Amino acid sequence: MDSKQGENKMAITKTIIEDKIEIVGEHKNIQVRMATVIKEGGKELTRSFERKVLECVTSSHDGSSWTHADTDVSGESSEVQGIATAVWTDDIKAAKRTANEATL
């Protein structure tokens, strides 16, 4: 008799979802938490988390002048893009540029 007869084969799946999006701080940083969920036969076996923070502006200083760039969110989910559009106003971006320059 084959030892695998009668054995239930359950699919193992891995899903990555954005399960939490938060707006944090004076300059409206967007924190995105991704959950990696492993399931077997529909039953969750494990869940782990990863987090990233998006700032509205990045700045660099070459010793004599500043360069500022708005953060490109085109690779983010439509939900994150919508939040960025709503909260990263011109005033917020200007305040972030000023704050970044003050750190030198």
pLDDT of residue 81: 98
- Per-residue model confidence as pLDDT tens digits over 21-59: 999 999 999 999 999 999 999 999 999 999 999 999 999
| pLDDT above 70: percentage of residues in the chain | 92
Compute the average pLDDT of residues 4-21: 84
Can you give the pLDDT at residue 4? 58
Question: Is 2 a residue whose pLDDT tops 60?
Answer: no
- DSSP assignment of the chain: --TTTT-----EEEEEEEEEEEEETTTTEEEEEEEEEEEETTEEEEEEEEEEEE-SEEEEE-SS-EEEEE---TTS-HHHHHHHHHH--HHHHHHHHHHHHHT-
- What is the model's pLDDT at position 9? 77
